[in-house]
Structure 1
Amino acid sequence: MNVPSDVLVVGASAAGLAIVESLRRKGYRGRITLLDEEAGTPYDRPPLSKQVLAGTWDAERTHLRTRDVLEALDAEFVLGERAVSLDAATRTVRTASGRELGAQAVVLATGLRARRLPGLTGISGVHVLRTLDDAAQLRKELLHAEQAVVIGDGVLGAEIAATARQMGRDVTLAGPQAAPMRTQLGAAIADQLAVLHSGHGVRLRPHTLVQEVETTEGRVRGVRTAESEVLPADLVVTAVGGVPATGWLADSGLVLEDGVVCDSHCRAAEGIYAVGDVARFQHQTLGRSLRLENRTNATEQAQTVAANILGEDRPYTPVPYFWTDQLGVKIQVYGLPTPTAAVHIAEGDVEEGRFVARYLDDEGHPVAVLGWNMPKQARKHRQHLLPLYTPSTRPEPATASR
């Protein structure tokens, strides 16, 4: 494989910037262009629902790199330009202003867009949280709000509810699950998270679907559920997941199915790769496709893609990982918990608020590890998952302990 003379990265996200840095660290001296629709310095997203919303970080602290470091990358940053189409055959991207950018290798790192509920747009007091501007607007209104309702009980919704409650707001967290983050954590641990939120004064409304918001003179005043109950609110945040930002690729010829479909090397087509939240790649050892939405994946996947651009022919076989901080608790999850997995405490104690849980399949094999305020210990237990992600035999059944 010939090393491309130039590389175009669409999306100045954490993943997009990591591509540029990885290429330069590996000695690549070709031309690199980084295109993004936001005009500001590339920034990190995990702090938005926590430190930025709480006001403990200002916007500058979210910047992924200083200007001096960015300049040292010797890349062209085309910011404030939105990509509107891709010609996969010629690897040419057209922007909203009519500009055309092409390269021998193109990396798609456009991430997600916040999913919006029908009928909840254009209403004063109703917010989503995806960008730095979103966080600034939400914080501004949250400081003066009395009753906030967060719609959506996944990771983002739970984090926003936790932060808003720590700011002293009256908070209701409403969602379709039996407990916050049940899909990500399983029933047993999600119940512990529900206890944590309730203990800090967050009102939980499980099994709740939202029908509409009620307004007065264009301003939200409540949320009406499918059971016709009205939850009072002068501020509403919808946190119902993200949609891969692939709309601009509709006529590109690439395969789009809940993300940009890639092979095990994160390649979507000849000379075109995808990375980060937008990439649906084939996990070679699991034998299935995955799309991972987390900060760690953005960096690790970018390193693999950069290597492949330079001809290393490396499959991407990560141990999935995500983390969240809520109400003084750090939760870390390695692997992929399943709804039917048995949960056993491998270290620590649930009552003391510090433990490591192992998720076991029907044969007693570990499929995931969770740390609750035990980060070092959780990482140690991660080693039990490695046989699932490397071409080796299955591990011996784990011994349950409590």
Structure 2
Amino acid sequence: MSTLRVVLDQVGSAQPSGIGRYALELTRALIETAPRGVGVSGIVASSPDEEYRRIAQELPGLASLHKSSLDRRQLAAAWQHGFTRLPGNGMVHAPSLLAPLYNHDRLNNPGEQFVVTVHEATPWTHPETLAPRAVAWHKAMARRAQRYADAVVVPTHAVAEELAEAVDFGERIRVIAGAVSSELTVPHDVDARAQALGLPERYVLAVGPLEKRKGIPDLLWAMGDVHAPDVPLVLVGVGDVDIEQLEHQAHLDAGRVIALGTLPDADLAVAYARASVVVVPSISEGFGLPALEAMGLGAPVVHSDAPALLEVCADAGLIVPRLDAAGYPRRLADAIQSVLDDDALATQLSVRGRDRARAYNWRDSAEKTWQLHADL
């Protein structure tokens, strides 16, 4: 029996990162669509027992789980410097650049193959928006992938083009998009959850970390602009921040920003579904999952003209050019106001968004992944 070994990076966390959620959904779909006679096993960094139990619960069809003796940080350093050997052999699929890459002979042993995933080209296109250590690690692992990976998966053609300009992967790049989590659905107790979250009747929503590359600082400035609508801004996923300081810096009245931290899927779905408009103001983006999540739940979306967002959203969102940085917040403010003032436009965006979101699903992603390994 052949086995596809998947690196389950951050999958067992109580609140998985974006890569953790991607790895979980893809692995679940890979198990469901596995060809006859092929199993799916996992590779995971040393973790607390509750994380192993969570993996077993979330992925009941997993054939086996290889538990490294190294924690994630140690494993990342070891794999970066070439200490990569794993028990057994066969296909390895890494849902990120965290991969045990080494020199191998695929021509004489076609079952031994390594595929990695690069979610965005930000370390090369906008390195100033990331921590220097993160930039260095991504570039180092990309160099190992250039030498040893048999294929490189990217989520959009936009990332494929940007990455190709930075690293010569030849013909090894394959575009396979992600999708919205199967668990992101509106629960039956919508009103109770909205009240518990403190969601106002009308609000602008943004989902993502408070990072320059994600454009959240620009959105804060936009909400403080004289052209901005007088509605609250709800932020999800910004982490532990001083909201009063953010409001003061952006010249916003006290109480104008509501920070909800990281939310479970049911609460996140409610936040999306109740939003008057969802803004995805990314300066640099690889896929733009919040835009697709919002569209799938019927929220009108305003987004930047980052190439990946233009590709994923097509004509289903209202586009705001980034152009000059100084004028970007005001353009965001104008776009948000136009959606809030025009019910017909909001409805049109909602309908288009739902249609666009249906074009992406995890089964399709998994089938394309299996085909990639078959092609190798």
**TM-score of the aligned structures, taking structure 2 as reference length:** 0.34
Task: Provide the TM-score with structure 1 as the length reference.
Answer: 0.32
- Greater helix share, 1 or 2? 2
